[in-house]
Every structure is written in structure tokens, then in C-alpha cells.
Amino acid sequence: MPDYHDDLRLAHVLADAADATTMERFKALDLKVETKPDMTPVSEADKAAEELIRTSLQRARPRDAVLGEEFGSEGSGPRRWVVDPIDGTKNYVRGVPVWATLIALMERGEGGDRPVVGVVSAPALGRRWWAAEALGAYTGRSLSSASRLAVSKVGNLADASFAYSSLSGWEERGRLNGFLDLTRACWRTRGYGDFWPYMMVAEGSVDICAEPELSLWDMAANAVIVQEAGGRFTGLDGVPGPNSGDAAASNGLLHGVMLDYLRP
């Protein structure tokens, strides 16, 4: 098995630098925010954090490719770093502390590209989560001060906590009825949004979560953390991994029944 300790340490260094950059501008009165062609916001902090990560990767891993939300794809090869500098930009620009930098390393194999390292750092919450293939998933303040993550053992949908992002995406894709039926079947539902539901699945405080439209940079880091915590991460089509354009994550026990509700 490949050893990803060095890559994981590098991802933490990248996250430390990104945290310093994003926190410096969080709640700044003169924060510059633009609207992208897809009508989503991007702040100067998004761009600065991604530029910083890319520059660091060029020095530390010059042969690796990079894909980022703000500056696209660069390089080629079997290893690719996938970066979302601020997942939850709408929260960031409004002063809501639920946002994070997502950093993942993906490797090409027989089944296609898969995430093998992931770090999710939410400095405004004072939280960080990480994982590497075959090394487990953890949360804490540093590699040396961490606790291991494990998904829940809830096996009945009526006892399950379901987290999601919003209703509008499900309605736009003609899946709102199935989504609402799923919420009615669960014990509890909450719209935490963005990266946080996936981290709570990995922690065992939430049992299932799903979103109907996502990009690779939204999912790659989350996927390896959920999987290494003992859960399942697939598209709504049931295909494992973060490559389907949508996502469903669970403790594994409830995955099939969740997908039954959410399939078209």
C-alpha cells in the first residue's frame, strides 16, 4: 500500500496557510466580492487562498496536477490536488462561520481517479478533519493532537438524523418529492449545508446527508474522510466516490434506503 503520510502532512501545511489568509479577511468591512458567471459569489479571500495553495504545491509537488474552483485545471498525470479555497463562500461573505478550505489528493487507478488524502479546515469554527487512505480519519487541532472518527451505528431510518443543504436544488432537478418523503421518514432533519454534514456523518453525529449538484472540489476531501471513518460516499446513482456530480454520504447501514428515496 502507498504511504500517504508525507502528502497528509503537506495538506495540513497548506491548510494552515489558507486558514491564516481567510481568517485575516473574514468579516472585513472592505472585503471585495464579485459575482461569477454562474451567479455565485467569489471573494478576494477565495482567490488569495487558492493562489497560495497552488504556489506552495508548485514548490513541493511540481509534478502533480492541480484543480481548483477559482483557477481551473493545471498540469496532468496520475496525481492531482483538488482544492476548494472556501467552501461556503456565501456564508463567508455574510460573516457566518460555517465555511472551510477543502484540500484533497486524488490518484489514478484501475477504477479511475479516487481521493486518497483529504483535509477539511474550518478555522472560524476552530475545527479540522482529515484522512488518508488506509490511515483512518481524524479530527483535532494537529496531527499530534487528534481523535479518530467513526460513523454511527444507526440502522433504522426512523432513528436517523438527515442533513442537507437546501430545498431549491432538489426542486430544480425534479427530485423534491423523494427528498421530502425522505425527510418525513427520518427522526430529524437539519439544513447545515456545505462541508459540515459530511464531517458530521464521519463523526457519527449525523447518519445521512445528500446534495443534488456538486463539483469535484466540493466532494473529494469529504469523500475520503467519510470513507476512512467507516461510512459510504457515492453519487445519487450509487457509484462510489466523488465523480458523479452529486453526492450521498452515510454510515453505510442506511445508504441503500436513502438512495431509494432520492433516485429520480
* 23-49 average pLDDT score: 89
pLDDT digits (tens, 9 = 90+) for 42-73: 889 999 999 999 999 999 999 999 999 999 99
Average pLDDT over residues 78-103: 96
Q: Which residue has the higher pLDDT, 142 or 122?
A: 122
Q: Which of 23-37, 184-198, 243-257 has the lowest mean pLDDT?
A: 23-37
Q: Are 143 and 162 in a shared domain?
A: no
pLDDT at 2: 81
Residues 17, 91 share a domain:
yes
**pLDDT at residue 237 tops 80:** yes
**Residue-level pLDDT at 74:** 95
The pLDDT value given to residue 38: 74
pLDDT at 40: 81
Confidence of residue 176 (pLDDT cuts 50, 70, 90): very high
Pair 121, 33 in one domain: yes
Pair (87, 30) in one structural domain = yes
**Owning domain of residue 200:** 157-262
134/189 same-domain check: no
Q: Are 111 and 176 found together in one domain?
A: no
Instruction: Report residue 259: phi and psi, to 5°.
Output: -65, -35
pLDDT at 121 over 80: yes
Both 198 and 247 in one domain: the answer is: yes
Shared-domain flag, residues 9 and 97: yes
**Is the same domain home to 120 and 215?**
no
Band (pLDDT 50/70/90 cuts) for residue 36 is confident
- Domain-ending residue, one of 90, 123, 148: 148
Please, which pLDDT band fits residue 181 given cuts at 50, 70 and 90? very high
Over residues 245-254, the mean pLDDT reads 97
Q: Which of 96, 114, 148 is the last residue of a domain?
A: 148
Are residue 125 and residue 194 in the same domain, yes or no? Answer: no
pLDDT, tens digit, for every residue of 160-174? 999 998 898 899 988
pTM: 0.95
DSSP3 helix / strand / coil % (the chain, rounded to 5): 35, 30, 35
